[in-house]
Structure 1
Amino acid sequence: MPIIQFPKEMKWGTATAAYQIEGAAFEDGRGLSIWDTFSHTPGNVKNGDNGDVACDSYHRYAEDIELLDQLGANVYRFSVSWPRIYPTGKGELNPKGLKYYHDLIDKLVEKGIEPMLTLYHWDLPQALQDHGGWANRETVDAFSRYAETIFKEFNGKVKYWQTINEPLCAAFLSNYRGVHAPGFKDLQLAVDVSHHLVLAHGRAVKVFRDLGIEGKIGTATNTTWREPFSNKSEDMEACKREIGHNIDWFLDPIFKGEYPQYLVDWFKNKGADLHTEEGDMEIICQPIDFIGGNYYSGNIARYKENDGLLDIENIEIDYDQTYIEWPIYADGLYKVFHYLAERYGNIPLFITENGACCIDKLENGKVMDQDRIKYYQQHLTAVSRAIESGINIIGYLAWSLLDNFEWAEGYGKRFGLVYVDFNTAERIKKDSYYWYKKVIANGWMEI
């Protein structure tokens, strides 16, 4: 069997998000988030599920860190719950929230696992949403103050920092398609929110630099790939829009100091104008240390008039799909790496999320998730191909450590390396956990 070798200095680990795993939604002074409100509104989440308890990681974090340690992970990406720190988004601090993250981070450091802290993974304090949320520029100010608090509090303990997770989802899934909190369907609102999210990123990076905080700071952006169905210009342009909506719209302002004009024009034709203020782009265009890319799927696609926001139609050929019905297209990850390197230079790249939703059956105390292992084999092969091609990839984080609250899908979709019984919160290692442990320990895999 062929052997795929990885660099010795490669960082390995997993990723999670606060609302998806912590639970303890109403404990120790935590305020409400937009996901508390959204998930408790009938019809928004499958089966009426919510994150009130989730994986109960708030109380079981030490057990989860032990799972990471046994896995051999040397990086753990997690997010801080903003309403656990500032229950109303600003104003009075919640010391119990800060203590929880100190305990979590101290335990990681004790085990030799580098914390990668994400400031915002979608759980906006509801009190800020009540005043317009991310559509209100005052939320950018509140985020800057929250970021300053976290930077100062955990300086010296955290090596990797990320500002905002998947701003595409936080802007467009949440405010244009309405499938994520807060659940609006307004393109102009989504475009406004997208700019304020990028501005909030820039403000946070500036605070980070001004304070002289230790470590490296970067992004966690959506990535995907669309291969044109044909060489017709309309097919190629449609795929460019889809890729660019994920990547260019959010990274061009950071690296180039401007939004991609082709998308500015496209949104304008769809009825939404980009609104910026003087000085915004200078704030956004702060140097960052790495790009965090989240990749799950790709496809072949072609132009189709009035098909969604971007006039694009996916062509389902013969790709296998994960249980969440996302095509398995590992070659797209390889192409995304080259796209990022060509567009933004040889900046370090960190795969901050990659994983598969599968039908996991617990039988005789085991979960034999060979389909997930195959997914990881395919995508780690793409990672190796990119590294061998000279792309500056420094780490890989599997999504996710645990089965968890999968947003609007509730608890019916599992991504974890570890099976969670949501009735008892028991953790059971899947076959993919043992497989990934072996890859980390060896620094290579068989395919």
Structure 2
Amino acid sequence: MPFPDRFVWGAAAASYQIEGGAEADGKGLSVWDVMCRQPHKVAGGHTGEVACDHYHRCAEDIQLMADIGLQAYRLSLPWPRILPDGIGQVNEKGLEYCDRIIDTLLEHHIEPWVTLFHWDYPQALFEQGGWLNRDSADWFAEYTQVVVDRLSDRVTHWMPHNEPQCFIGLGHQSGDHAPGLKLSFSEVLTAIHHSLLAHGKAVQVIRAQAKRPPQIGTALVGIVSIPATDHPDDIAAARSSTLAVSGKHCWNNTWFADPLILGHYPEDGMARFHQIMPNIQPGDLETICQPLDFYGLNIYQGQTVRAESDGCVTTIPHPPGGPRTTMDWPVIPEALYWGPRFIYERYQLPIVITENGMANCDWVHRDGQVHDPQRIDFLTRYLQAYGRAIDDGIEAKGYFLWSIIDNFEWAFGYDKRFGIIYVDYETQQRTLKDSAYWYKDVIVSNGQIL
């Protein structure tokens, strides 16, 4: 099952999760630096202060990416390393680090796909209100301008934000992630609105100032409902569930994507939240809704639903004892068929899977290798489902495996391993897992071996 010509095969990682160098060369504090210093916030008291030491080992890591044959690498930039206070004074050493990564990637013929914000929000700006402050949109635009001025002669692929559902939902509603807030839902909606404004302003800056023609997209969580059968009623139920705003939480697609792509908030959400809507000023939705070139989806799992005779939709529980990753997430390959299909039908933008992968119970075996057959099986099943979606007419541009290397998994610390490269955190030794060699064959064959 070969994938389309010019389909992009890549892998991804995020700055705070791999870099370390928490105070190196003038870097400012992020909300995650502060979160990790608080007791009982991160498993094992782990922090990102060293992580994979990618800050000092990026050349070695990029060589491994080249050995695997990556065509593209989705990286995020460290906002507080570039602007220690979030705005204002630029840290030249932070930009030199970004230059070093971009140049090394290009030397190895790996295309950089840049995410501007993957959760390491500058602590200095959080202390001024963070995403609750409307000025956050302008702060983010200023940061974007600095990055575009420096890197857009070499970078053409851009995503402003990674997973706003998570950095708002987990960071500002449940308090599980930095900055650890438990806000009212009206405040959550305000934070979402300001983050969407920031996205729109960043796209405006990139479009206006990029030195090379840009390709700009999203990196949104894909919340996927899967039909219990192929009956049209079940498919319709799964579609409506995938595209619904179902409660006072962030776990949906349309509250985030509709404003970005369609220029308005979804009607069902408006009806549900009408008494607590954020302050939407004239021109806000026009600013938010900027032309995008692709819809980036991060998909790991899904839920199965069926239609009932009364028109309701029932969620079917996952079977007891069914396959699960070490994140305790169910293995649902069909999510990579139905998610791209339903999203493409609604928004008519080419799909890029910007994250997909699994946490596995990995260790170095007696032969010195890391054997992870579960991950290979997982990825094969999901990619086959994605391939079926493409065969059925979904326009798709690429796939980014999460993640290229084991790393700091946020509140779970180093207890979860998502990488296709194993990291011994005591020695920083890297070992390619079996899945890395398998993925190399997938890339060479353009998916033919799946």
Question: The TM-score by the shorter chain falls in which range?
Answer: over 0.9
* Aligned mate of 1:363, from 353, 362, 365: 365
* Aligned mate of 2:263, from 257, 267, 278: 257
1:113 paired to 2:110: yes
1:185 paired to 2:182: yes
Give the secondary-structure state (helix, strand or coil) at the position aligned to 1:383: helix
1:289 paired to 2:293: yes
Deviations 1:172-223 (A, max 9, x none): 1111111111111122222111111111000011111222442211111110
Q: What amino acid maps onto 1:288 in structure 2?
A: L
Give the secondary-structure state (helix, strand or coil) at the position aligned to 2:345: helix
Q: What amino acid maps onto 1:383 in structure 2?
A: Y
Give the secondary-structure state (helix, strand or coil) at the position aligned to 1:219: coil
The equivalent residue for 1:340 is 343
Is the CA contact (8 Å cut-off) linking 2:149 and 2:210 kept in structure 1?
no
The equivalent residue for 2:36 is 39
Relative to structure 1, is the Cα distance of residues 302 and 200 closer, same or farther in structure 2, using a 3 angstrom cutoff? farther
Relative to structure 1, is the Cα distance of residues 229 and 32 closer, same or farther in structure 2, using a 3 angstrom cutoff? same
Give the secondary-structure state (helix, strand or coil) at the position aligned to 1:391: coil
The equivalent residue for 1:308 is none
Deviations 1:135-186 (A, max 9, x none): 1011211110000110111112012111000011111111111111111112
Q: What amino acid maps onto 1:410 in structure 2?
A: G
The equivalent residue for 2:253 is 247
Deviation at 1:8, TM superposition (A): 3.2
Relative to structure 1, is the Cα distance of residues 445 and 368 closer, same or farther in structure 2, using a 3 angstrom cutoff? farther
More strand by percentage: 1
Q: What amino acid maps onto 1:114 in structure 2?
A: E
Once superposed, what is the RMSD of the aligned Cα atoms? Answer: 2.3
Is the CA contact (8 Å cut-off) linking 1:238 and 1:302 kept in structure 2?
no
Query: What CA distance in whole angstroms lies between the structure 2 residues aligned with 1:286 and 1:445?
Result: 36
The equivalent residue for 1:151 is 148
Q: What amino acid maps onto 1:278 in structure 2?
A: P
Deviations 1:317-357 (A, max 9, x none): 25411110111111122111111111011x22111110001
The equivalent residue for 1:389 is 392
The equivalent residue for 2:281 is 277
Deviation at 1:265, TM superposition (A): 2.5
Instruction: Give the TM-score normalised by the residue count of structure 1.
Output: 0.92
1:35-74 alignment runs, 5 A limit: 35-74=32-71
Deviations 1:78-105 (A, max 9, x none): 0000000110101100000000000110
Query: What CA distance in whole angstroms lies between the structure 2 residues aligned with 1:335 and 1:145?
Result: 37
Q: What amino acid maps onto 2:267 in structure 1?
A: Q
1:159-198 alignment runs, 5 A limit: 159-186=156-183, 187-198=185-196
The equivalent residue for 1:377 is 380
* Aligned mate of 2:441, from 427, 438, 442: 438
Relative to structure 1, is the Cα distance of residues 427 and 41 closer, same or farther in structure 2, using a 3 angstrom cutoff? same
* Aligned mate of 2:207, from 189, 206, 209: 209
Deviation at 1:227, TM superposition (A): 3.6
Deviations 1:91-137 (A, max 9, x none): 10000000000011001111111101110001000000111111101
Q: What amino acid maps onto 2:92 in structure 1?
A: P
Structure 1's unaligned 5+ residue stretches are 304-310
Relative to structure 1, is the Cα distance of residues 329 and 98 closer, same or farther in structure 2, using a 3 angstrom cutoff? same
Matched residues, percent identical?
Answer: 42
The equivalent residue for 2:136 is 139
Give the secondary-structure state (helix, strand or coil) at the position aligned to 1:435: helix
Query: What CA distance in whole angstroms lies between the structure 2 residues aligned with 1:212 and 1:21?
Result: 27
Stretch moving more, 225-234 or 412-421: 225-234
* Aligned mate of 1:130, from 127, 131, 135: 127
Is the CA contact (8 Å cut-off) linking 1:224 and 1:296 kept in structure 2?
no
Query: What CA distance in whole angstroms lies between the structure 2 residues aligned with 1:189 and 1:45?
Result: 25
Query: What CA distance in whole angstroms lies between the structure 1 residues aligned with 2:279 and 2:187?
Result: 11
Is the CA contact (8 Å cut-off) linking 2:136 and 2:195 kept in structure 1?
no
Deviation at 1:234, TM superposition (A): 10
Give the secondary-structure state (helix, strand or coil) at the position aligned to 2:224: strand
The equivalent residue for 2:407 is 404
Deviation at 1:275, TM superposition (A): 2.5
Give the secondary-structure state (helix, strand or coil) at the position aligned to 2:217: strand
Deviation at 1:315, TM superposition (A): 1.5
Instruction: Give the TM-score normalised by the residue count of structure 2.
Output: 0.92
The equivalent residue for 1:316 is 318
Query: What CA distance in whole angstroms lies between the structure 2 residues aligned with 1:40 and 1:95?
Result: 27
The equivalent residue for 1:104 is 101
The equivalent residue for 2:219 is 220
Q: What amino acid maps onto 1:371 in structure 2?
A: Q
Is the CA contact (8 Å cut-off) linking 1:400 and 1:417 kept in structure 2?
yes
Give the secondary-structure state (helix, strand or coil) at the position aligned to 2:286: helix
Query: What CA distance in whole angstroms lies between the structure 2 residues aligned with 1:312 and 1:407?
Result: 32
Query: What CA distance in whole angstroms lies between the structure 2 residues aligned with 1:350 and 1:96?
Result: 32
Q: What amino acid maps onto 1:265 in structure 2?
A: A
Give the secondary-structure state (helix, strand or coil) at the position aligned to 1:395: strand
The equivalent residue for 1:78 is 75
Stretch moving more, 406-415 or 360-369: 360-369
Give the secondary-structure state (helix, strand or coil) at the position aligned to 1:28: helix
Query: What CA distance in whole angstroms lies between the structure 1 residues aligned with 2:272 and 2:57?
Result: 47
Query: What CA distance in whole angstroms lies between the structure 2 residues aligned with 1:110 and 1:144?
Result: 29
Structure 2's unaligned 5+ residue stretches are 308-312
Query: What CA distance in whole angstroms lies between the structure 2 residues aligned with 1:18 and 1:312?
Result: 39
Q: What amino acid maps onto 2:417 in structure 1?
A: R
Query: What CA distance in whole angstroms lies between the structure 2 residues aligned with 1:363 and 1:235?
Result: 42
